[in-house]
C-alpha cells in the first residue's frame, strides 16, 4: 500500500515540497527554484530531485498561485458576460470607491471583461422572484452566435435578482451549451446566490475567467502525475482552507484564487493546536511580504470581504490573511520628510539585497540582520553566500549617514521599522477584530519570521512564541493538513423574531442534500462527511453581518439571537439586546474528511546540544555585540533547552533568541519561547 503523502506549494521564487511518511510520521522537505513560465515543470523536477516515487504516494495535495497570478497579470482567456438589459455596466460602476481615497489620479484597474464583450438580453425578475419579463430566447441565441464568432472561451451569465430565482440563468446556460460547445459557462445563481449584484457579478466573472485557466492546469498536472504512477485524485487547496478535486476546480475555479496564502494559515493553526495553544496568530515572513492570520479556539478566522485586485470582490469564503510589504528583501530608505521607511518596495530575487552581491545598493532587512550578526555567511544551507561588507556599506550609505547615526544603530532602526509595520498588521487582525493578543501564541515561520518573532511578541505583549520545525516550508505542510471542503449558502432575509425554525430547517436540509451530492461526486463516503451550519445575522438597519454557528437540527431562534449578541459584543465591544435582529444568509460548510497521518512525536530527553560556533551578534537590548552560540537546528532534540543569547540556523530559516530568554524543544520539535510569564 502507498505510504507517503506529498504536498507541493509553488511560490514565485521557490517550490516547496513536503513529504510525510504515513507509517512513521516523519517529514522530509525539499526546495527547488520555481519555473514561472511553466510551474508544473518545476514541480515535477522537484519531485524527481526529492526521490519521490509517485507509485508510493497515497495523497498528493497542491497549493497553487496559478489562479492568483492570472488575475494579477491579466493573462486571461477571452471571456464574455451576458446581463439583463440595462445592467451592462454594473461591474464597471462597482461601488464607486477607491483604494486610496486621497489619490485623485490613481484609477481602479479596468474590469476583467471589456465592455464590448458585455452583452445584454431582455428578461426581468423582481426582488421576490416573480417573473416580470420572460427571457427572450431569440435574443439569447443571437447573443450566443455573436460570442461564437468572437471565439470566447468562457461566459459569465449574470441576471438581476437571479439569486432568488435562477430560472432564466439556467435556461440561458442551456442555450449557450447548445450554441457554444466546449465553452466554460458560469451562472451567478449557481456560483453565488446572494443579494448585492456587484459582488455577485464580480465573483461570477472571476469564476468564469479562471475555469479554463485552472481547469487546463489541473488536467495537465493530473495527467502528468498519472503518467508517473500516481493513482489517486489530485487535490487542490482553495482559499477557504479545504481542497477540491480537479473536477470541481474546473467548475468553481474562482475558489483557487488566494490558494497559496491559505496554506500557511492552516499549518500555523495546526502547529499551535498540537502544541497546546488553540488561540494563535500566524506570522509568515518571506522575502517580499508578510502574511498574518488568526485562529481562535482552534479555528481559522474566515472572511468573505476580499479581492485580488481592488474593486473586484470575490465573495467565496476565505481564510482571512492580511498581507503587507515587509520581508527580508524590503527596502529601507529616507523619505522626502527625512523619516526612515521600510517597504513595501522590495529588492526581489534579482538583484536582491545588497549582500547578495548582484548589484543591489539599497539596504534591506536582510542586510541589516547580516550586519548585526543575526544571519550567518550563507542562506539555503550555504548555497547562497552573503557578503557582510556589502551589507555594511548599504546600511551606512543608505541610512546611517543621512540620519547621522552609528551604523549598528541604523541597522537596528531598519529592523525596528519593519517590526512596527508587522505589529500594525497583527493589531489589525486581532485588536481591531475584538481579540486580545495576550490571549494568543505567535507562530513565526517563513524564511525570516523566526528572526523577528521575539521582538514582535514583545511589542504586542504576546506571551509565547512558537517556531515550527521547518519554518520555510510551513505553507507546503499546510497542504497536507486539509480536508475536501465546499461552502454553500444563499440569501435569506427575514426578521429573526418572525422566523419559523421549521422553515429554516427545511432550507438547511436542501443545502445538505446538495452538499452530500458534491462530496459523493468526489468519492467521499457518507461516514466521512461533516456538515456545519451557520447564519449571517445583523441588527435591523445594518447591512454588515456577523456569522453565527447554529446546531442541527435548527429549533431555537432565541439561542441564535443570543449567540449573535455575544459575537457582536466581542467584535465591536457593544451589544444592543433591545434592537431587533434580522437573518441575512444561510450557510453550510460541507467537509469530506481525508485520512490524517500523525506527525511523529518524539520522546523528550534532557540536555543542551553543543553549538557549532560562536559569533558576535547585536541584540536590541544591548548596545554592544555579544559572543553568541550558534546551533544547528538538526542537532536539537525533544526536551532540549537553549538559553539566550543564541542563534539557531537551518537550511530554510534562522531563529534568534535574545539574552534572558529560553527556547524549549517540544515533542513535535517546535521551539517554544516564553517571551513573558505574565499571562492573563
Higher pLDDT, residue 282 or 481: 282
Backbone region of residue 523 per phi and psi (left: phi > 0; alpha: psi in -120 to 50; beta: other values): left
The predicted structure's pLDDT at residue 224: 95
Higher pLDDT, residue 117 or 679: 117
The predicted structure's pLDDT at residue 83: 97
Mean pLDDT of 564-588: 93
pLDDT at position 521 over 50 = yes
The predicted structure's pLDDT at residue 596: 62
CA distance 358 to 529: 53
pLDDT at position 678 over 50 = no
Give the other-Cβ count within 10 Å of 131's Cβ.
13
Angle, CA of 244, 248 and 251, to the nearest 5°: 140
pLDDT band at 249 (very low <50, low <70, confident <90, very high): confident
484-592 and 261-477+641-680 share a CATH fold = no
State the CATH class of domain 4-70+215-259: alpha beta
Element (H, E) at 218: helix 197-227
Residue 433 DSSP code: G
Q: Global pTM?
A: 0.84
Q: What is the CATH number of domain 484-592?
A: 3.30.1490
Lowest pLDDT segment from 13-17, 85-89, 92-96: 13-17
624-662 tens-digit pLDDT: 899 999 999 999 999 999 999 999 999 888 999 999 999
585 φ, ψ (degrees, to nearest 5): -155, 140
The predicted structure's pLDDT at residue 13: 66
pLDDT at position 597 over 80 = no
Residue 145: CB partners within 8 Å, gap ≥ 6?
179
602-626 tens-digit pLDDT: 999 988 899 999 999 999 988 889 9
Mean pLDDT of 438-457: 95
The predicted structure's pLDDT at residue 658: 95
CA distance 242 to 529: 13
Cell numbers at residue 307, please?
479581492
Higher pLDDT, residue 246 or 187: 187
What radius of gyration do the chain's Cα atoms show?
A: 26
The predicted structure's pLDDT at residue 626: 95
Q: Kindly list the domain boundaries of the chain, sorted by start residue.
A: 4-70+215-259, 80-193, 261-477+641-680, 484-592
Element (H, E) at 486: strand 484-495
User: 635, 626 in Cβ contact below 8 A?
Assistant: no
395-431 tens-digit pLDDT: 999 999 999 999 999 999 999 999 999 999 999 999 9
DSSP string of 254-316? GGGTTHHHHHHHHHHHHHHHHTT-SSEEEEEE-SS-EEEEEEETTEE-EES-EESSTT-EE-S
354-400 tens-digit pLDDT: 999 989 999 999 999 999 999 988 775 566 789 999 999 999 999 99
Residue 398 DSSP code: I
3 state DSSP class of 379:
strand
Mean pLDDT of 3-15: 82
19-66 tens-digit pLDDT: 988 888 788 888 887 887 888 999 999 999 999 999 999 889 998 888
State the CATH class of domain 261-477+641-680: alpha beta
User: 487, 71 in Cβ contact below 8 A?
Assistant: no
Percent of all residues in the chain with a pLDDT value above 90, rounded to a whole number: 70
Mean pLDDT of 428-438: 92
532-562 tens-digit pLDDT: 999 999 999 988 899 999 999 999 999 999 9
The rounded mean pLDDT for the chain is: 91
DSSP string of 545-571? -EEEEE-SS---HHHHHHHHHHHHHHH
Mean pLDDT of 557-579: 93
User: 264, 291 in Cβ contact below 8 A?
Assistant: yes
Amino acid at each position: 500500500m502507498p505510504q507517503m503523502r506529498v504536498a507541493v506549494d509553488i511560490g514565485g521564487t521557490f517550490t516547496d515540497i513536503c513529504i510525510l511518511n504515513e507509517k512513521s510520521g516523519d517529514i522530509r522537505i525539499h526546495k527547488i527554484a520555481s519555473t514561472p513560465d511553466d510551474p508544473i515543470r518545476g514541480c515535477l523536477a522537484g519531485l524527481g530531485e526529492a526521490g519521490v516515487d509517485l507509485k508510493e504516494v497515497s495523497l498528493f495535495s497542491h497549493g497553487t498561485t496559478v489562479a492568483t497570478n492570472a488575475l494579477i497579470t491579466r493573462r486571461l482567456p477571452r471571456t464574455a458576460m451576458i446581463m439583463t438589459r440595462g445592467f451592462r455596466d454594473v461591474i464597471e460602476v462597482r461601488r464607486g470607491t477607491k483604494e486610496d481615497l486621497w489619490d485623485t489620479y490613481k484609477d481602479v484597474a479596468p474590469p476583467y471583461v471589456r465592455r464590448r464583450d458585455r452583452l445584454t438580453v431582455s428578461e426581468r425578475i423582481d426582488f421576490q422572484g416573480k417573473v416580470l419579463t420572460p427571457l427572450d430566447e431569440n435574443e439569447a441565441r443571437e447573443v450566443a452566435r455573436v460570442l461564437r464568432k468572437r471565439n470566447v472561451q468562457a461566459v459569465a451569465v449574470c441576471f438581476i435578482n437571479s439569486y432568488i430565482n435562477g430560472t432564466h440563468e439556467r435556461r440561458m446556460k442551456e442555450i449557450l451549451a447548445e450554441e457554444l460547445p466546449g465553452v466554460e459557462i458560469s451562472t451567478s445563481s449557481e456560483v453565488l446566490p446572494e443579494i448585492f449584484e456587484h459582488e455577485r457579478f464580480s465573483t461570477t466573472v472571476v469564476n468564469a475567467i479562471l475555469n479554463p485557466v485552472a481547469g487546463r492546469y489541473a488536467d495537465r498536472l493530473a495527467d502528468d502525475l498519472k503518467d508517473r504512477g500516481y493513482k489517486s485524485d489530485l487535490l487542490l487547496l482553495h482559499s477557504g482552507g479545504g481542497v477540491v478535486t480537479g473536477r470541481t476546480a474546473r467548475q468553481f475555479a474562482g475558489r483557487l484564487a488566494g490558494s497559496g496564502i491559505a496554506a500557511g494559515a492552516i499549518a500555523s493553526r495546526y502547529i499551535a493546536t498540537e502544541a497546546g495553544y488553540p488561540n494563535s496568530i500566524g506570522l509568515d515572513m518571506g522575502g517580499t511580504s508578510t502574511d498574518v492570520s488568526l485562529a481562535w479556539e482552534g479555528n481559522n478566522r474566515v472572511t468573505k470581504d476580499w479581492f485580488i485586485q481592488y474593486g473586484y470582490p470575490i465573495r467565496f469564503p476565505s481564510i482571512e490573511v492580511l498581507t503587507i510589504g515587509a520581508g527580508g528583501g524590503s527596502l529601507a530608505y529616507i523619505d522626502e520628510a527625512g523619516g526612515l521607511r521600510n517597504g513595501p518596495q522590495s529588492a526581489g530575487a534579482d538583484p536582491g539585497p545588497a549582500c547578495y552581491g548582484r548589484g543591489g545598493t539599497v539596504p534591506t532587512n536582510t542586510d541589516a540582520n547580516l550586519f548585526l550578526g543575526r544571519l550567518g555567511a550563507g542562506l539555503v544551507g550555504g548555497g547562497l553566500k552573503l557578503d557582510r561588507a556589502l551589507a555594511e556599506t548599504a546600511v551606512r550609505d543608505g541610512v546611517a549617514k543621512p540620519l547621522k547615526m552609528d551604523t549598528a544603530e541604523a541597522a537596528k532602526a531598519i529592523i525596528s521599522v519593519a517590526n512596527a509595520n508587522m505589529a500594525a498588521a497583527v493589531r489589525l487582525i486581532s485588536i481591531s477584530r475584538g481579540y486580545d493578543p495576550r490571549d494568543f501564541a505567535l507562530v513565526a515561520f517563513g524564511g525570516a519570521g523566526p528572526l523577528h518573532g521575539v521582538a514582535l511578541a514583545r511589542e504586542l505583549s504576546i506571551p509565547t512564541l512558537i517556531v515550527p520545525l521547518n519554518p520555510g516550508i510551513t505553507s507546503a505542510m499546510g497542504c497536507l493538513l486539509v480536508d475536501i471542503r465546499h461552502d454553500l449558502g444563499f440569501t435569506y432575509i427575514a426578521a429573526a423574531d418572525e422566523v419559523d425554525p421549521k422553515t429554516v430547517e427545511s432550507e438547511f436540509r436542501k443545502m445538505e442534500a446538495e452538499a452530500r451530492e458534491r462530496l459523493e461526486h468526489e468519492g467521499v463516503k457518507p461516514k466521512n462527511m461533516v456538515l456545519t451550519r451557520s447564519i449571517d445575522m445583523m441588527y435591523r438597519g445594518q447591512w454588515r453581518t456577523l456569522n453565527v454557528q447554529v446546531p442541527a437540527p435548527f429549533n431555537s431562534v432565541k439561542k441564535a439571537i443570543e449567540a449573535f449578541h455575544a459575537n457582536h459584543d466581542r467584535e465591536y465591544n457593544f451589544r444592543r439586546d433591545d434592537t431587533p435582529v434580522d437573518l441575512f444568509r444561510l450557510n453550510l460548510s460541507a467537509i469530506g474528511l481525508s485520512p490524517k497521518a500523525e506527525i511523529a512525536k518524539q520522546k523528550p530527553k534532557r540536555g543542551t546540544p553543543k553549538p557549532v560556533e560562536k559569533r558576535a551578534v547585536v541584540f536590541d537590548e544591548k548596545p554592544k555585540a555579544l559572543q553568541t552560540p550558534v546551533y544547528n537546528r538538526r542537532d536539537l532534540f525533544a526536551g532540549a533547552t537553549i538559553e539566550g543569547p543564541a542563534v539557531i540556523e537551518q537550511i530554510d530559516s534562522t531563529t534568534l533568541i535574545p539574552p534572558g530568554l529560553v527556547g524549549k524543544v517540544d515533542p513535535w520539535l517546535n521551539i517554544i519561547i516564553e517571551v513573558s510569564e505574565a499571562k492573563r
